[in-house]
């Protein structure tokens, strides 16, 4: 890197890091809005993918009635089975969340694209950062495409008969969408850390570093199980803690030979068996993750780490306690319906815990010598 380019990068680091942090907040916000959209069953309210025209919602009574008719026809299984008595004002509520979710995504594109070209023209990026931003754009595009495929999984063409009773978007499409969004959040967060704190690194602790990545992997699995909990409304099956109150009922749901079939897992709305298994796995991974994070915390405390990593380590415990508490309150209040506020907060704190763990991994990363091409 030439001296003039290095000077431009150093000068622009503050602006680029601030821009990346805004991007991280926007992605986190988008996932949270997606959680609200899911828990309010709003995902099927908009039946067309119109990237430009879709920015503007219906503006008069006639347009609202036409949009409502499309919903009744194209998302008819949800309407007929769950919302047959829905009024136009109630439809406007679910329409808002799906429209806001899409509008937020479009706004993210604008926030990313305009500063990107300004910073690029001013030479504020290293080649490594440009390459990483290319991956960010690819992940964002994949999330957008998967988002529409997810919505399409719950829509039916006029006259078509679906073999699967889908009154919501597919929970399996949802977790693919969620894993892409989670990877986007994590990759963008790591890019921000590279720009903001390029020299922050601890002494080499290979065993703890490997263990921290294992904990992060388990957390990602737990986040996906949480997506399945939301997607299948599995929290409604047993809203009790710390024990499943009716053990016989749970046993019959888990091991009922008449319900144990691939079809019931594909069409999970006709049987409680999938929801029961999902909740058992989600709770089991929560216990496992709690033990693993506590062990990581104590190992780091004894390792003679820096003041910065000590702070991050304590934040890990705070996030863990908050996440456990929200999970317990969410399940206890999942009687008849999932509590939207608690459910979304539970998801957001899980992502903050994920970012916290990534920060630990960032501090423990092994320093590599960069070639001139990577600089």
| C-alpha torsion angle, residues 294, 295, 298, 303 (rounded to 10) | -140
| pLDDT for the residue 269 | 72
Residue 103 has pLDDT above 50, yes or no: yes
pLDDT band, residue 171 (cuts 50/70/90): confident
pLDDT digits (tens, 9 = 90+) for 2-28: 545 666 667 788 899 999 999 999 999
| pLDDT for the residue 200 | 81
| pLDDT for the residue 375 | 43
Percentage of the chain modeled with pLDDT above 90: 54
* DSSP SS3 for 348: helix
Residue 76 has pLDDT above 90, yes or no: no
Ordered alpha helix ranges (H), the chain: 3-39, 61-74, 76-82, 88-121, 127-152, 171-196, 206-232, 247-255, 262-266, 273-301, 307-332, 340-364
pLDDT band, residue 232 (cuts 50/70/90): confident
pLDDT digits (tens, 9 = 90+) for 268-289: 777 778 888 889 899 999 999 9
* DSSP SS3 for 297: helix
| pLDDT for the residue 9 | 67
Sign of CA dihedral 138, 144, 167, 90: positive
Looking up tokens 């290319």, which residue turns up?
Answer: 134
pLDDT band, residue 263 (cuts 50/70/90): low
Residue 356 has pLDDT above 50, yes or no: yes
pLDDT band, residue 158 (cuts 50/70/90): low
If you count them, how many residues does the chain have? 375
| pLDDT for the residue 219 | 96
* Total-model pTM: 0.89
Residue 373 has pLDDT above 50, yes or no: no
| pLDDT for the residue 346 | 96
Picking from 244, 338, 248, 343, the residue whose alpha carbon sits closest to that of residue 284 is 244
> How does the average pLDDT of the chain come out, rounded?
86
| pLDDT for the residue 161 | 46
Query: What ranges do the domains of the chain cover?
Result: 1-198, 201-375
């Amino acid at each position: 890197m030439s001296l003039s380019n290095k000077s431009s990068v150093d000068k622009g680091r503050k602006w680029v890091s601030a821009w990346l942090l805004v991007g991280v907040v926007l992605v986190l916000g988008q996932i949270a809005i997606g959680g609200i959209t899911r828990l309010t069953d709003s995902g099927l309210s908009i039946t067309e993918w119109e990237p430009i025209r879709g920015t503007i919602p219906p503006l008069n009574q006639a347009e609202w009635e036409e949009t409502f008719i499309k919903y009744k026809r194209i998302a008819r299984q949800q309407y007929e089975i769950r919302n047959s008595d829905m009024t136009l004002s109630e439809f406007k509520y679910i329409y808002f969340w799906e429209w806001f979710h899409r509008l937020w995504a479009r706004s993210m594109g604008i926030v990313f694209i305009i500063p990107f070209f300004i910073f690029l023209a001013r030479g504020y990026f290293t080649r490594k950062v440009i390459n990483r931003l290319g991956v960010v754009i690819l992940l964002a595009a994949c999330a957008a495409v998967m988002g529409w495929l997810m919505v399409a999984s719950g829509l039916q063409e006029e006259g078509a008969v679906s073999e699967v009773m889908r009154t919501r978007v597919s929970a399996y499409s949802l977790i693919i969408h969620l894993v892409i969004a989670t990877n986007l959040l994590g990759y963008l967060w790591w890019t921000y850390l590279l720009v903001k704190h390029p020299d922050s690194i601890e002494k080499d602790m290979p065993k703890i570093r490997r263990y921290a990545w294992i904990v992060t992997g388990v957390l990602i699995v737990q986040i996906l199980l949480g997506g399945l909990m939301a997607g299948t409304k599995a929290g409604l099956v047993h809203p009790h803690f710390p024990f499943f109150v009716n053990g016989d009922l749970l046993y019959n749901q888990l091991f009922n030979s008449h319900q144990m079939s691939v079809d019931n897992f594909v069409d999970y709305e006709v049987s409680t068996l999938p929801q029961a298994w999902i909740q058992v796995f989600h709770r089991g991974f929560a216990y496992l993750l709690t033990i693993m994070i506590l062990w990581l915390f104590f190992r780091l405390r004894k390792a003679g780490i820096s003041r910065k990593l000590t702070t991050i380590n304590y934040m890990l415990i705070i996030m863990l306690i908050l996440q456990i508490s929200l999970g317990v309150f969410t399940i206890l209040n999942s009687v008849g319906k999932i509590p939207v506020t608690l459910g979304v907060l539970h998801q957001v704190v899980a992502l903050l815990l994920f970012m916290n763990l990534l920060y630990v991994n960032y501090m423990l990363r092994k320093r590599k010598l960069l070639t001139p091409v990577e600089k």
